[in-house]
Structure 1
Amino acid sequence: MKRTTTRARLARVAATAAVALAIAGCGTSSGGGDSGGSGDEGSGTGEAAGFTPPDIPMAQKLGAGEGEVDILAWPGYAEDGSNDPNYDWVTPFEKETGCQANVKYFATSDEAVNLMKTGEYDVVSASGDASLRMVASGDVAPVNTDLIPNYADLYDYLKDRDWNSVNGQMYGVPHGYGANLLMWRTDVVKPAPTSWSVVFDGASEYAGKVTAYDSPIYIADAALYLMKTQPDLGIKNPYALDQDQLAAAVDLLKKQRENVGEYWSDYLKEVQAFTTGDTVVGTTWQVIANVAEGEKVPVDVTLPEEGATGWSDTWMVAAEAKHPNCAYMWMNHIVSPEANAAVAEYFGEAPANPKACDIAAKGHCETFHAGDEEYASQIHYWTTPIPQCIDGRTDVTCTDYGDWTQAWTEVKG
């Protein structure tokens, strides 16, 4: 049977997200929709950051499956073949474990955070702007990785990081990752840019045709640029900003706003904007670039010299999961070579399990730089901004995601 094109898969993922967003109605309290997690040095949000999570017990052993599991997932993360018969990693899981997978998709990280509070879900694919919120609220439990056989195979540089662990204790299983890249039309933007300056300090050259990701978490992109270009601001981690540092990032973004033609959150709309030439330069994902290039749009991408933000999604288990054994079985399954390869291909990201690269389509892991630790070290994965500065500072209070949401509203006007 003919494989579904990447564009068609993206359209289905986008359509599912749009439906979920409509169901969400008026939205939630604070936060945005980010599919993803910081390539910052250090492991875990330690006690130096002043963050002590609630005392939630961790599973010590597993028993028989309970017959079902309630999964809360980003669109495209739990496919059963109904969208594309070539992509089905849910059915094999059900056959192998006897756990019926009940999947609900969410459209934003905020929606996921609120849905987890209902206690109706056993396991969730959490992005970095949501994971610490779930830990702090006591809605997810620490994960006993000894109970997940496939965990040992995962890339070490995705383990014990600020967005998926606290004080050296893992709170989830790394699933896949990717970078927020710089894309430009090669027939317009010359010479080929190597720095984010083309969308910040030099954005006026392409006034009205610059694009940026539409979410409060994009503030981290500005903070990363300032971290490299204005070291006197003292930014050490783009997700740990005090009031003055946040103000500097907001000021930069307001200046950029004068040159932005359109902010994007819909992958296909960004492809269309680059196709028509309404957009010629801005942030993107590798999978979007692949679609554009496949449609003969003259674009290229790079990971700029300052590095980039990105995502590393994590499967987390509910603190009061009704089906904890099946939840652990799902976490083990989703990072198995077969399932991890399938979801990485379908969604468009690097798998967390290197063995998946032996199964994925030829060239997939090379395209997404899977296993390239040097490349991954340049990615500052999305991490929830919290008052306790995750860069280790204790003499100031950092801004949280609510502050970022308010700031983003000011940026867009």
Structure 2
Amino acid sequence: MKKHIGILGVALILTATQAFAQHGPVMSLKECINYSLTNNPSGSVYGNQVGIAQQQNREGLAGYLPQVNLTGSLDDNLKRQVTIIPAGTFGPEPTKVQFGNQYASTVTGQLDQVIYDQTLINALKASKMNVELAELKLEKNEDDIIYNTASAYYQVLIYREQLKLVLENERKMEQLVAVQKLQFDIGVLQESSYKRVLVNYNNVKAQYDLTQMNLEMALTNLKHAMGMSADDPLDIADSIDFEKDVPMPSNEKAAITQKADYRILQQNILLQEIDLKRKRAQYLPTLAGYARYGANAFGNEFQNTFNQWYDYSAIGLKITVPVFSGFRRDSQVRQGELTLENTKLNLSINARLYEVQLQNSQVQLSAGFVNLKSSKENLDLANEVFEMTSLQYEKGTVGLSDFLNADYAKKEAQSNYINSLLNYLMANINIEQSKGTIKEFVNKL
């Protein structure tokens, strides 16, 4: 009987394992992260933002490059203007004269070149720094993708580990129920004792269903983090290796200066400083040069208008000196000064927040490591006690209550172990996120 029950339990484990494998690709944590970085749509959004910033930089550079324009016109003077020549010029009476021709055509080409414009120079610097800011935001998004993928992956890993424990509990309880049922049928076991064991067995089955559901939802969340369709099959390759996956936390001193959020705030300060310089430069004169070449053609008959062209050319300089703008420039400068001050204050406020987060994550990792080691040792002890009590119960040296108490203690130890394992794994990536070294964490996988 026990042999058949054992075979049934193994079959149940294999069936459950196949159920959550979904016959899909088996991916490690590193493979899932690499897939996320390639396929998560937010990566494309931030990549496009970098492209936009680069094109804005090109647009800003165009202001300091030569500007060439061609214009042409053709006038049909339907009614030419009359000019009065005073009396005595050509005769005793005033003379009415219409100057010009019926048709007039003009073609002009002009080149304009900015020689000096400090506002434009500062705008060019800001455009380059804006590209760097977009690249930093892309880097931060990649860090977020890695963090979200790793978090979802660990959740799947934890539920898989929990499912293994629940399946083992179900196998052992199923064996006990079969024995208790046989004893009850032959009249050597009270009905209340049999039903107590049956209640425990039903609770384990309910826990299995709940864990299986949680595992499926965790897999769906992982697919979402990776940019994968919820209908695509997926399974993870890793399982918990306690000695390998739970190293002693490092005591090395960490800083927040590598964190992408911190560097974005620093870049914003540099941008605001450049913008303030640009606004102050509006008080300075600007100098530009130009060269113009054109030609005119005239005629009283349309077909003869373009027979003879008269060309002309000119070069020159244009200087513009700002005098008074109705306090507009002064207001813009003051706004820039206040914005810069706020940006610096935001950096100071957030830097303290990032330092607190880093210190808390270090405390959580150290405490999580100690708690996990303790939970693992307690789980091993609870398993040992359960096996001893189970053997004693089979021999009749302890009662059912002792057996059920040992079973409850084992399940409690399993629950504590699962929770402490998840807390430790999350603390591990939290500290990498707080330090801004989460990509280095991936490279070590």
TM-score by length of structure 2 reads 0.22
* Higher relative helix content: 2
TM-score by length of structure 1 reads 0.24
Structure with greater contact order relative to length (CA < 8 Å, sep ≥ 6): 1
Q: Which has the larger radius of gyration?
A: 2
